[in-house]
Structure 1
Amino acid sequence: MVTSRSLTLSILVIIILQLGTATISPSDKKPKDSKQATADAKKGPVPESVFQRNLVTRSPSASDIVAESGMYCKKIERNFTNAVLGYVTPWNNHGYDVAKTFGNKFTMISPVWLQIKRKPTGTFHITGTHDIDHEWIKDVRKRGKKSQVKIVPRVLFDGWSSDDFYALFTTGTEPKELTKTIVMSLKAYKFDGVVLEVWSQLGGQGRKALQMLVKLLGEALTKADLKFILVIPPPVSPHTGKVGNIEMDDIKQMYAYVDYFSVMTYDYSSPERPGANSPIKWVEKCIKAISTKKNERSKFLIGLNFYGYDYTSSGGHPILGKDYLDLVSKTSAIQWGDDVEEHYFEAKDKGIKHTVFYPTLYSIRQRIKLAEELGCGLAIWELGQGLDYFYDLL
């Protein structure tokens, strides 16, 4: 069994070795013509799903991942019956294609386009509208017709100062003005609702004021027949296990006014504390910390990362599908961490040793099963970062 402590120690050993004299290890051995193998991998729809191709395994091979990950079942039907939200960003164009191709897999798509700004006069305006792609929205809705996919853009409180928040929370008019601006903008651009990201920005401060804002906005959105998804930080802090910046009482106060809570159950580790992206036991604790009843959990969307982390002696950074495939083709073995239920591997590229944690079909399937057991939905950050055959699981 591999424990999270042993994984961390393993990574530290790699870092020390990298700083000192290089040594030969199994991870230094790479298959010949790995770049060519990546380039030659097939892509597009095929008759069989990843289940029928026997790819959902605890012991995947690097060669199978490289060869098979670009192929997905041409019969695109939902396997997961609870709500699924997929985020799409302007800086990852493949996500736009994923949303169209796999439209039936999602109940909601959230393009990360919009920001809400406060003017010194106490009024508000929406920015980022230049990123809105109406033709793409039309295509997604058309291809996702059976599932009636909703387009719910994320709105971020971008560039706000503490004075801005103070003014918002201490005046009687600004919350109503902000709510009016958001609802009118959603209606003007014919969106189906909104994903609001603000809670994490305040680091656990101003909770009562935030609750009142959520209630006010929730009532207005319901009246306008618009969906309301609130992004919330993990209720259990990574590593420490202490209470996070949101608690069950916060949820109880807002529950009736929100359609879904998008829970950020990823980024458990960091370059400062390398390791797993989202240990499955931690994910379960996060959900149970804000809800004790399964029949009330359909509003909670478990954050599911479709990216990983690449750690080296110089630190770490997120790694997306394309770069992952290049690195995984250079490893001799993919390892499984029993306690975190994630795969990881070690590889050497251009003289630099890498330790990579990245989702696999098996690790994603385990988290989908957990969501089913808990009665939750899923929120994927983000479409286009992962591998195309991941969507066969949804």
Structure 2
Amino acid sequence: MRWALAFVSFGLLCSQQVLCTLTPDNKAKTKQKDSKYLRGPQDLDVFGLDLISPEPTAKDILMHHNAYYKDTSLRNFNSTVLGYVTPWNSHGYDVAKMFAKKFDMISPVWLQIVKQGDAYAVAGTHDVDPGWLTDVRRKGKVQQQAMMRTVKIYPRVIFDHFTDRDIKLLLSEVNERTQLNEVLIKTCKEHGFDGLVLEVWSQIAGRIDDKILYSLVLQMAKDLQKQQLRLILVIPPHRKDVPNIFGEKHMDKLYKHVHAFSLMTYDYSNVQRPGANAPLYWMRKAVENIAPTGCHDMQAKRAKILMGLNMYGNDYTPDGGGPITFGQYLELLRHVKKPLTHDERDVENFFEIKIETGRHIVFYPTLYSVHERIKLAKELGVGLSLWELGQGLDYFYDLF
């Protein structure tokens, strides 16, 4: 890959980390520079403006990123779309309302399961915003034939500060799981949630017998379903270093009981292994690993897979670097004078610059890379899960 050549001499350079927070003076200058760029609802979408290019220009991105098509009810992707929202990224709350009709499900990252003595409790409910939930549901209403459909709310829940003893007890005792599920159901009922997104598989799979882990997920799914609530399970993608942590056999056991599977097809690369955020061929393999072409009930299984799509990128520097969201990306993009490079193998865009803060190689989604992944989802017959709303550029949502 072309970007790999840049790393040959990358480690020989010295630089400072890119500043993630703008000073007040810089913010004022940025606002002044942004005044000439398009913003808010527009008469043409990104298709009409012909902005989807394998090698987009920095000028076009800066000009159009903050604009979007005025009819936000228009959907170009008709399979299931789940959008994650986090308390630490407030713009995500706005995005969820602005484009509510493009989503089937919203998952606020709010909740943690904790132990209080021998009892289970749900922490994080202080983040629940009833007014925002009402707005999202109201703006997400869509008339479908004779029925009114609205966006569903599935907060994500994780196990927090559980000891090995806590986990062992929960997994080995049916009555412990029953107590936990009763607490979760009560929380859903109190706040009007439609179900939960459970993130646990990556944390404990491989450390325990699969049968015990099945018991936790299946009992939770069934107990929730009895109360007209649904469970979405977060699952890891196939990797060579952790083969079959979630594979076809797991899918066969769970797919009839779990409402959907949020597949974490992002974070393929990192500071130790710089490169593309989520190569297209790898995303395809991740789906085919759990629901191979021609397998039993393939269509039903794939319809429940929500292929993960990252809305953030990575900025690699000689000191390491790390993930970046749209604000940092746009600041770096202002220094780019030529079209962004297209990596044909990974089907992603990146650019390389050397500025006062040092040298940067930046991988971040573009209209082209997002559009190619939507095309892949359509081809495979899967849905999408976006991590996370508010990290990407507003005009991305024209694509969905």
C-alpha contact 1:34 1:330 (8 A) present in aligned 2: no
Please list every run of at least 4 consecutive aligned residues from structure 1 whose deviation after the TM superposition is greater than 4 angstroms.
33-36
1:274 aligned partner, one-letter code: P
Residue 45 of structure 2 contacts residue 69 of structure 2 at CA under 8 Å; is this kept in 1? Answer: yes
Aligned mate of 2:202, from 200, 203, 210: 200
Structure 2 unmatched ranges of 5 or more: 16-28, 143-148
Residue aligning to 2:127: 131
Q: Aligned match of 1:228 in 231, 249, 254?
A: 231
TM-score by length of 1: 0.91
SS in 2 for 1:57: coil
Q: 1:173-188 alignment to 2 at 5 Å?
A: 173-188=175-190
2:383 to 369, 377, 386: 377
Tell me the amino acid that sits aligned with residue 336 of structure 2: T
Deviation at 1:172, TM superposition (A): 3.0
Tell me which residue corresponds to 1:391. Answer: 397
Q: Is the 8 A contact 2:261 2:305 kept in 1?
A: yes
The offset of 1:349, in angstroms, is: 3.1
Matched, 1:350 2:361: no
Partner residue, 1:285: 285
8-17 or 61-70: bigger deviation: 8-17
Scaled by the length of structure 2, what TM-score is found?
0.90
Check if 1:258 corresponds to 2:254. no
Q: How many angstroms does 1:250 deviate by?
A: 1.3
Contact 2:205 2:213 in 1 (8 A): no
Give the Å deviation of 1:244: 4.2
Name the aligned partner's letter for residue 376 of structure 1. V
Amino acid at match of 1:261: F
Residue 362 of structure 1 aligns with which residue? 368
1:331 is aligned to 2:336: yes
User: 2: distance between equivalents of 1:264 and 1:83?
Assistant: 16
**CA shift at 1:15, angstroms?**
2.8
- Report SS of the residue matched to 2:87: coil
- Contact preservation (8 Å) 1:197, 1:230: yes
Q: SS of 1:256's equivalent?
A: coil
1:170 maps to a residue whose letter is S
Change (3 A) 1:35 1:187: closer
| CA distance in structure 1 between the partners assigned to 2:161 and 2:5 by the alignment | 39
Equivalent of residue 320 in structure 1, options 318, 325, 330: 325
- 1:247 deviates by 1.7
Match of residue 299, structure 2, among 289, 295, 304 = 295
Larger deviation, residues 274-283 vs 144-153: 144-153
By how many angstroms is 1:393 displaced? Answer: 0.3
2:233 is paired with a residue of what secondary structure? strand
Deviations 1:302-341 (A, max 9, x none): 0000000000000021110011111111112310100000
User: Which sections of structure 1, spanning at least 5 residues, go unmatched?
Assistant: 20-32
Residue 37 of structure 1 contacts residue 67 of structure 1 at CA under 8 Å; is this kept in 2?
A: no
Structure 2 equivalent of residue 163 of structure 1: 165
> How many Å separate the matches in 1 of 2:242 and 2:176?
34
CA distance in 2, matches of 1:242, 1:90: 31
- The 10-residue stretch of structure 1 (6-15 or 135-144) with the greater mean CA deviation from structure 2: 6-15
Query: What are the superposed Cα offsets for residues 189-214 of structure 1, whole Å, 9 maximum, x if unpaired?
Result: 11111101111111522222111111
- Identity level (%): 45
Residues 110-125 of structure 1 mapped to structure 2, 5 A cutoff: 110-121=107-118, 123-125=119-121
The DSSP-based 3-state class of the residue aligned with 1:266 is coil
**Deviations 1:150-187 (Å, cap 9, x if unpaired)?**
01100111122222111111223101111111111111
Where 2:83 maps in the other structure, the secondary structure is strand
- How far 1:39 moved relative to its partner? 5.3
Letter in 1 for 2:130: H
- Does the alignment pair 1:213 with 2:210? no
Q: Give RMSD over aligned pairs.
A: 1.6
- Report what 2:22 is aligned to: none
